[in-house]
Amino acid sequence: MKLLAAGDLHDDHEGVRKLAEEAEKEGVDLVVINGDISNFGDLAKGMIKPFLDRNKKVAFVAGNHDVPGITEVLKEKYDILDIQNKSIIYDGVGIFGCGGANILHMNFTSDDDMFTYLSNGFRYVKAAKKKIMVTHIHPKGSMIEKFSFPGSEAVTRAIYELRPDIHICGHIHEMEGFEERMGNTRVICVGSRGKIIEV
């Protein structure tokens, strides 16, 4: 399976148009958006449709800049795949996610809740040969946090205990496109330019 993963778009309609074109050109099977598609109070108008216009299915978790309830609105309006504290199996790949961030902001999610959501989601997909964990916030103790805010202990714990093949995160704009390995997991901070990922 081939994915295009992106996040931290903050209402950048031109950026979304370019990503949708790339998704079509690359023939991706799924687009994964890991939060901050909007910017405080906006319901991401016009941010999903460019992908749908190119027949690309979108999976989504919210970020700390997205209003509470945005996932439900996008699901109802655009039939997105809701991986906000949930999981799916898509083309044989298990995908589980948790939105928000462990900082006091919109869509605050405590580390305890985050680990619970990720663990519950993992249980549903653990039989899948390949597993992808999607969060907005990055893991604590990662190289990603060295240049910015501390990450989430829950995400780090999930990486080491649940051992997904790939972890898609964002939040730290300065580390966009950065990859590292934590245990057996490939950790990718995707950012607004997006990243093509082969699973």
Q: Which burial class, exposed, middle or buried, applies to 41 when counting CB atoms under 10 A from its CB (0-12, 13-18, 19+)?
A: exposed
Q: What is the pLDDT of residues 84-113, one digit of tens each?
A: 999 999 999 999 999 888 765 655 788 999
Q: What CATH code is assigned to 2-198?
A: 3.60.21.10
For the entire predicted model, the pTM comes to 0.93
| Residues sharing a CB contact under 8 Å with residue 126, sequence separation 6 or more, in sequence order | 94
Q: What is the pLDDT of residues 7-63, one digit of tens each?
A: 999 889 999 999 999 999 999 999 999 998 877 656 557 889 999 999 999 999 999
Tokens linked to 145: 């946090």
